[in-house]
Amino acid sequence: MYCARVTRDDEPVERDALDRVTWALRRAELAVQALKEQRLRPLGMATAHYTLLISLHADPGLTGAELARRLNVTPQAVASLVARLADRGQLERREHPRHRHVQELHLTDAGREALRTADAVVADVERQATEALGPDKTTQLRALLDQLAAALRKA
């Protein structure tokens, strides 16, 4: 448990505000993100770069707007990252078959190679996380997180 420092009744949050499940999720997410950033940095890559590459691998032909919605970032942030990755030769823009002004995004061979290298790093972070929990707790955590996500989507 996270030790909440809020002790006065006139404070703007409840005493257990920092012990909430959502804060525990956020702390875990931040720890994972920090470790990924640290491990990806020597590759000249950030987690946003990896996330965009793996998203295009999973769904080739996404548009910048679709990526922005999926990644929960602004279209401007996606456009900036897409420009950098295109300059590196890791993705290419193709004209949408039905909408001339819409560009689909696709990985290039260089993009697939960058993703392959980065994914090995991310898989190592995953191994570290699962080893810390052990197989039973890892399975339980995945099930609980899936259950929570499903419940919150319905809310």
Q: Which residue has the tokens 């972070």?
A: 125
Which one, of 31, 32, 7, 10, lies nearest residue 18 by Cα?
7
150 exposure class (CB count in 10 Å sphere: 0-12, 13-18, 19+): exposed
Average pLDDT over every residue of 81-109: 92
Contact by Cβ (8 Å): 103, 64: yes
Q: How far is C-alpha 80 from the chain's CA centre?
A: 17
| All domains of the chain in start order, with CATH | 17-154 (1.10.10.10)
Task: State the Cα–Cα distance between residues 102 and 104, nearest whole angstrom.
Answer: 7
pLDDT at 17: 81
**pTM, rounded to two decimals:** 0.83
Mean of the per-residue pLDDT values for the chain? Answer: 92
Return the DSSP state at 94: E
- pLDDT 10s digits, 101-140: 889 999 999 999 999 999 999 999 999 999 999 999 999 9
